[in-house]
Structure 1
Amino acid sequence: MSAEPAESGDDTSAVVGLTTGALARRLGVSPTTLRSWDRRYGLGPAVRSQGRHRRWGPRDIAMAEEMCRLTATGAPPAEAARVARLRFGTAGPATPAAASGAASAAAYRPGGAGSGLPLGDVRQECRGLARAAVRLDAPELEQRLVEAVGRYGLVRTWEELMVPTLRAVGRKWESSGDRYVEVEHLLSWHISSTLRSVPLLLPRTAPPAGAPPVVLACTPGEQHTLPLEALTAALGARGVPTRTLGAAVPAEALLACVRRTGPVAAVLWSQTRSTASTPLARHVAGLEWGPSGARRRPVVLPAGPGWDRRAGAGFPHCSGLRDAVETLSGLYGDEGGVGHTHTG
């Protein structure tokens, strides 16, 4: 549904326009955010229909769009709302106050009209998530992430919403002289919180009784844990027991964990080539336990962009989260048995 212009030049006579929900979908924000802007900054529809329902006319929509644009470039919400009202709240040429407000807001527009996150061709929900991240709107981030997991499931949300937004923030960070660091940190925090909440958000299959786990660890020196957290959550939803060690696991600690837990597999995450250690992967793959004649070894799965063809040669390869979940789940038999590698 699109906004229809008023019959006269005065927008206050318009009775047909966008509902709050329709405008929220158009802008990629939540209806709660629009109501908050109206309550806090007076940035709301000038006209309400019978029954006090909000109807956003063309000028109201322009103000909301300007609010989104300014906050997405780093302007404080109160300042962005003031400038948006000055520009679109009254008809006629810009006043000196409006010009002053525009100059003030310009200080928060380092990249001009193109300073938003470089998302490319993504889902509309991804754009809404990005806007909330740039605005540092923590409640909006949390709500959008939880709703997405409930609607699309974890794997699809990770691949189509979380990862594209994280990559866009990373590209913006690299190209803007270390600005937007706070955006990346806030977004990563809320994605991590959502991943850890998956057992409360989605149905969960009970692990097979007595089944050995999958060990997940970042290689020594590797600090990027979100992909491992996503894999841990996805495996848990499939009933696969896990032991996740987190960031920068020392080699000795990883080897000790494998010896003590006897895992069906060990996932070694590396984000960069400098942290991908082929000797460590081979050492883990060579560990054995169990009685003589029935010795067992773990399947080692090098994961992440740090493992190129050379570093990951001789090991299984997975193209993404969905593939890794299927590969690791497939190591468990129908009755809880596990496809360990046996040696004589």
Structure 2
Amino acid sequence: QRPRDGARSGGEDLDSLDFDTVNNPYMVDCGRRPPRGVLGYSGKTFARWLLTVLTGVGVALAARCLSLMIDEVARLRNNVLQSLFDAGGSDRRALAFFVAYNLSLVLIAASLTIYLEPSAAAGGIPELQAYLNGTHVKNFLRLRTIFIKIVGTVLTVSSGLACGQEGPLIHIGAGIASGMTRGEKLYRKLLCIPLDEPRRLKHPVLDFFRNDRDRREFICAGAGAGMAAAFGAPVGGVLFALEEAASHWSPQLIWRCFTATLIATFTLAFVKAGENSGDISLAGLLSFGTVRSVGDMRREVLNDDGTINVSAVDAPVFWWELVFFGLVG
């Protein structure tokens, strides 16, 4: 069967990445040590850590914007529904608006993905794993793909579909980290400067990490930061990068991943503290409550002597749940 236009067939549309050093005169010349600057340092190590911190901050801000936009789109729908009920409208009219509103969100998200950027489809984790294993997935990490990913995630989650923002946030984090290594190209795109025009901004930091080897490590840290921001778990982000994403690992990468995940988690916690009365323990987009809220719930459920009333009728339900969830894992 012949593939349709634009479809990949047999992998001939895929390229490999140069994770190993290419031994030719051009790459050897480009890979020479940069000239020493202040106090005999080139600034490459400082730039690497600075971009790692900026990656964590960028992922946290993207996660916060994602959450706010989802809340606003859902709040608009709920406000209209409430006004319909307050005005004495029929349930059929409210149901028709509910279905039409959610269907419109889904259609817009699908249209943006199909016609503008197909690379933004789905969660993006399989493509990320392929990229970090040496396969160049075209257009997967470019700026337009990440933008469509954010808009599509906002619309689909707000529509009430059975999907979340945690998986796409990993793709978004990887895209932000990849953008950190493309300094000159990103600079030209933001200022609408043609790529063939002579450089207006010339600084060694723009060329430090423009290679597949360094970009791989930044993308790995960005993916871990996305996981950490989603669940408020910096160590979990590092473990995700180690177990699911990275194909190459080193002690230096562990520290950079942990720095990115830690910065992302705490930046998001501090940004969200305003709406939580200054409580920074609600880190992450998905939260099951804090120690304070769980303690308040326990005081409401438990008796004065610390016991809880359980009926014998509840026992079969507990047994069924234990057996069912034990079988499904």
Which structure ranks higher in relative contact order (CA pairs < 8 Å, sequence separation ≥ 6)? 2
Per the normalisation by structure 1, the TM-score is 0.23
Structure with the bigger percentage of strand:
1
Q: With structure 2 as the length reference, what TM-score do the two structures score?
A: 0.24
Q: Higher helix proportion, which one?
A: 2
